[in-house]
Structure 1
Amino acid sequence: MITTAIMQEYHRRRWLIWLPLALAFLTPYFHRTVMGVVTDNLMRDFAIERASEMGNLASIYFYTYAVMQLPAGILTDRFGPRLIVTAALVTASLGAFFFSWSGSIAGLYAGRFFASLGVSLIYVSIVKIHAEWFRLREFGTMTGLIVVAGSAGFLLSATPLAYVVDAFGWRTAFVLIGCYSMLMAGFCWLMVRDRPVDVGLPSLAEIEGIERDAGSQQVNGRSGIGRALKTVLGNPHTWWPVLAAVAIYGVYMAFMGIWAVPYFMQVYGMPRTEAANYIMAMALGTMVGGPLLGVISDRLGLRRGPYIWNTVFFLAVWLVLTVWNGGKPPVWALYPLCFGIGLGVSGVNMAVACTKEVNPPELTGIAAGVGNSGGFVGAALMQPAFGWVLDRQWQGAMEHGVRIYSQQAFQVAFGGCALVLVLGLLCTLMIKETGCRNISRELARTVVG
């Protein structure tokens, strides 16, 4: 019998488990955007001349992250999130230390790769915890809340990081994030538990009176993994939210993750710390948009609609940035525009929910991994592509060994990003509405029928 005392303990425990994961989730977001603040330092210290080469260094994070999402899902389903997230944080910590100590470009690539390898495993582990400890109708809200936690990493990698870089150097910044990651690894190992039954509590299925499907697949062994992959990857409804995220998040991270700070410094003549303030505005936009959209989605019982309308909003804001005064809006408009960009990209938070809810519940890890991969594929492609456009428009200006790009160069790059967002919007129109519930059985019956 599930008593009131058991329910109270259940609710208390799930938040104690969620807290260290939320704090650990700062690290992926920090590594995601740190390159934008240290771009000119690295280009100067390592004689990196071309924007496209800097884009390639930054995009290593996103290639690694994207490639690892499917293995992350398999590992999390097989070994549980507690072990995976702890190992992930240790790996990320070592990568940050290696990056800070590097004396060559090859060393920078290696350090960034290992940091990326580690943090790429964290989000899917959190999704698995959400699936085991939180109700399905809470999923959108919890996705929004974890975005708020992660976006604190955006904030730290903006103005605070700019101050650290100016005062102590960029290497010190990476040592600090490496220490933080190692601390969070220990915290997660001590506090996180994979399932309620691991601490003597009834499962979520028992609490909600749901009977497990006796025929559900077990992701154990090569054959089990093969069947699981075939189920998720062979489902056509898996892919539309992923493809939309490729475009939407790719544009966002091309700008916020690497080229926004150079844009504000070179086009507006801002110092680094002032330019980094606009990164904070975008981060605040995601911190507001993530939970707000999640609550709206859960309350309305819709996934596809919020994804579409948020993308429309993002495209509108981006077009304003692109066309107003030839790609140089007045300074007073920059904070609202950057905040709006952060709000607009929040729609990609629906990608994992849309993917997870069209696939069997026992394959949550794999489905979440696939759903989460799209944005990072997009970022990996868009960051060097944005740099390539800048290089093509470069007019030969240099300052302190760093290329200076014109307002026109940035406007051309912004225009290309607008076209990519249009493609993303078209993909959102093809998404299957789930009604905030798992519809995999209904889809299976439709196929059989």
Structure 2
Amino acid sequence: MAALGQQAVASSPLRFFDRAYVAWGTVAFAYAVAFLQRMSPQTVGLDFMRDFGTDASGVAMLASSYFWGYTLMQIPAGVLVDRYGVKRVVLCSMAASVLGSAAFALSPTLFDVFVARVVVACGDALVFTALLKLVAQNFSDQRFGLMSGISQVSGYVGGVLATTPLAAAVSGFGWRACFLFIACVGVANFACASATLKSAPANYTSRTLKSVLVTSWHALGSAATWGCAMSFAAHFAVVTTLAGVWGIPMVAHYFGISPSAAGGPLLAFMVGNAIGSIFLGHAADRMQSLNAALISITLLRMVLVVMLLPALAHSFGFFYVGAVFAVLGLVAGGTVPLILKSTKHLYTAERIGVGASINTTAAGIFAGLAQPAIAFAMVTASGLDPDIGSSLRSAASDSGYAALIEILLLMSLPGLLGPLMMRRELILRT
């Protein structure tokens, strides 16, 4: 009997270990699918235009419909996850993604496409916040940085699948069949998540939306909360502006090459991002001073941005720029687990959903407001007519890209101030 008892005690942690990772895997897979959905318009665009008899404006509508649904759900995402728990929110998210994918594949008109993509986006908007909450609840603080970093990588995997693999599938089977298949895969993942995700603890039943909203409102009165949001906003806006908007045009201009050839350094950035998310996420679990680490990594990012100035790029060449982007990817990937770890310490696992939503919303607003200022500065520095801003990417001069670098440095400053605002709270809660 004693032996049986010991065996039961020994097997219990193993069962929890297996279930925790399988449950995480179902939500991480949903996040990969969400990333694939977000990036798919660039891959299915030509087939989509042919089938609907539309032009680039139709593809823009396809992309913007997802953007609007995703953006509108960012604030509610954190509140819903903190109020109702991971399982209920994730299952609703998966159901919306499945129904939206199937509706998109069967859409007879552009209006139906718009509605279907909004439904998909509203579901996908909940996934990463729920994934972060799941990691905070199911894994110890000593593993939170690593698991949050790996969670980021799952999204990058979905982004990779949205390129060559999806293009090959669309070429062979058509885009409608591909999205029906994605919907079927979503159904299977829904069933797996239903079986493996744990229901919300009993204390969730006593929570109300009002209580969660009041707690969120009080959080906005804390300087540490704004410091955390500033840290993430500075990181997100700088990295997205450089790697997601101006990176390829800048490299193409520096070396007089095609955009496809200029994509090499950006590929190195993505690989570095994935590696940094895992290894620096693991390191984050062993750091004693998160605010000092955030200041150090922000300073390193600023140095790397300076290293992309036109004069240095022309002097050291293409491979130099590729190496800088690769290291910048490592730094960018490692920054996210540090900020997420800080978010968990500030908000605790109970309110981390709200914290993630505040950070994401602040980052989106900062990045969005910065873009017109960046474009104006680049146009002015390049000596261009402001009315031809649409051709800026191919016409900006070295002076224009130098102005871009200078603005990115200014945008990095909140990343130095934010950790100082968090310092006291992080020390108290670490």
TM-score, with length taken from structure 2: 0.76
Distance 1:416 1:93, change over 3 A: farther
> Does residue 416 of structure 1 match 2:404?
no
Aligned position for 1:363: 351
- Give the 5 Å matches for 1:353-392: 353-382=341-370
Distance 1:330 1:42 in 2: 39
Q: Residue 329 of structure 2 corresponds to which residue in structure 1?
A: 342
Q: List alignment gaps of at least 5 residues for structure 1.
A: 199-215, 440-449
CA contact (8 A) 1:315 1:421 kept: yes
- The alpha carbon displacement at 1:109 in A equals 6.4
Q: Deviations over 1:120-149 (max 9, x none)?
A: 101121122123211123221221121222
Show the counterpart of 2:395: 406
Q: What does the per-residue CA deviation read over 1:258-291, in whole Å, with 9 as the maximum and x for residues that have no partner?
A: 444455567643364x555444322211211112
Alignment of structure 1 residues 241-256 onto 2, 5 Å: 241-256=228-243
What residue is the counterpart of 2:158 in the other structure? 153
Q: 1:58-207 counterparts in 2 under 5 A?
A: 65=70, 67-93=72-98, 113-157=118-162, 160=165, 181=186, 183-194=188-199
Equivalent of 2:23 in 8, 17, 21: 17
Shift in Å, 1:186: 4.0
- Rounded to whole Å, the distance in 2 between the matches of 1:363 and 1:119 is 20
| Amino acid in structure 1 at the alignment position of 2:351 | L
| 1:234 partner SS | coil
- In structure 1, give the amino acid aligned to 2:345: E
Alignment partner of 1:8 is 2:14? yes
Q: 1:300 aligns to what SS in structure 2?
A: coil
Q: Quick one: structure 1 residues 432 and 172, their matched pair in 2 at CA, closer, same or farther if it must change by over 3 Å? A: farther
Find the aligned partners of 1:264 and 1:172 in 2 and give their Cα distance. Answer: 37
Q: Measure how far apart 1:374 and its partner are.
A: 3.4
Alpha carbons of 1:109 and 1:366: their partners in 2 closer, same or farther (altered >3 Å)?
Answer: same
After TM superposition, give the deviation of residue 26 of structure 1 in Å.
Answer: 1.3
Which of 121-130 and 216-225 deviates more?
216-225
Q: CA deviation at 1:14?
A: 0.9
- Please give the residue correspondences for 1:211-222 in structure 2 after superposition, counting only pairs within 5 Å: 220-222=207-209
- Give the Cα separation in 2 of the matches to 1:142 and 1:379: 26
Shift of 1:249: 0.6
Aligned 8 A contact 2:97 2:124 in 1: yes
Is 1:69–1:372's contact at 8 Å kept on the other side of the alignment? Answer: yes
Report what 1:209 is aligned to: none
Residues 14, 316 of structure 1: alpha-carbon distance in 2 compared, 3 angstrom cutoff: same
Deviation of residue 39 (structure 1)? 9.1
Comparing both structures, which one devotes a greater share of its residues to helix?
A: 2
Aligned CA RMSD, in angstroms, stands at 4.5
Measured after TM superposition, the shift of residue 40 of structure 1 is 10
1:232 aligned partner? 219
Whole-angstrom distance in 2 between the partners of 1:334 and 1:169: 38
Measure how far apart 1:96 and its partner are. 5.5
User: Conserved in 1, the CA contact under 8 Å of 2:234 and 2:363?
Assistant: yes
Distance 1:254 1:116, change over 3 A: farther
Change (3 A) 1:364 1:139: same
Is the deviation greater in 284-293 or in 378-387? 378-387
Q: 1:233 and 1:221, CA in 2 relative to 1: closer, same or farther beyond 3 A?
A: same
Which secondary structure does the structure 2 equivalent of 1:365 belong to? helix
Match of 1:292 in 2: 279
Residue type of the alignment partner of 2:225 = T
Supply the distance in 2 between the matched residues of 1:232 and 1:115 (Cα, whole angstroms): 30
Letter in 1 for 2:87: R
Choose 39-48 or 223-232, whichever is displaced more: 39-48
Query: Helix, strand or coil: the match of 2:421?
Result: coil
* Paired AA for residue 269 in structure 1: I
- The corresponding residue for 2:55 is 46
CA contact (8 A) 1:301 1:435 kept: no
Alignment partner of 1:322 is 2:309? yes
The answer as to 2:267 corresponding to 1:280 is yes
Q: Quote the Cα distance in structure 1 between the aligned partners of 2:64 and 2:372.
A: 7
3-state DSSP of counterpart to 1:311: helix
Query: Could you list the runs of 5+ residues in structure 2 that have no partner in the other structure?
Result: none
Tell me the distance in 2 between the aligned counterparts of 1:38 and 1:410: 31
Distance 1:411 1:331, change over 3 A: same
